[in-house]
Amino acid sequence: MNLEQMHDRCPNSTLRGTAKLQGWKFVIGPRGYASINSDTEKVTHGAIWLLSEYDEKELDKCEGVSIGLYRKEEIEVEFEGASVECLVYIENQAVHKSASLTYRNKILAGAEALSLPLEYVDELKAELNR
């Protein structure tokens, strides 16, 4: 979600805007990094990026797809009033853990830069401070 980090990892990517994921919850996984879990009662907000093939391969490396840390899925999100399929990375282990202070700050800076809804940012803070 952090704009600077995404630019560093995927220099050819273009931010398209923000999206809403119904039925998903933001979580911190067992390694202390962000993911989402299915939860019919929750809504998650995030960024939509247009990725080049090169950028997707680089993101796969960063997320540890080849060694099974994260998996890629296509899920339906609400973007600009329409339902669209988006690529997401989901951590393969569902155990929750704490994130480092530096990582928490990166996530919150990204949420602020994207102007995500304040109510959702409060939920992020609560999850990050568990």
Domains of the chain: 3-128 (3.10.490.10)
User: Quick one: DSSP state of residue 95?
Assistant: -
Cβ-in-10-Å burial (0-12, 13-18, 19+) of 26 comes to buried
| pLDDT score, position 71 | 96
Residues 6+ away with beta carbon under 8 Å from 105? none
pTM of the model: 0.88
Per-run averaged pLDDT (10 residues), the chain, 130 residues: 87 95 92 92 95 95 94 96 96 82 93 95 89
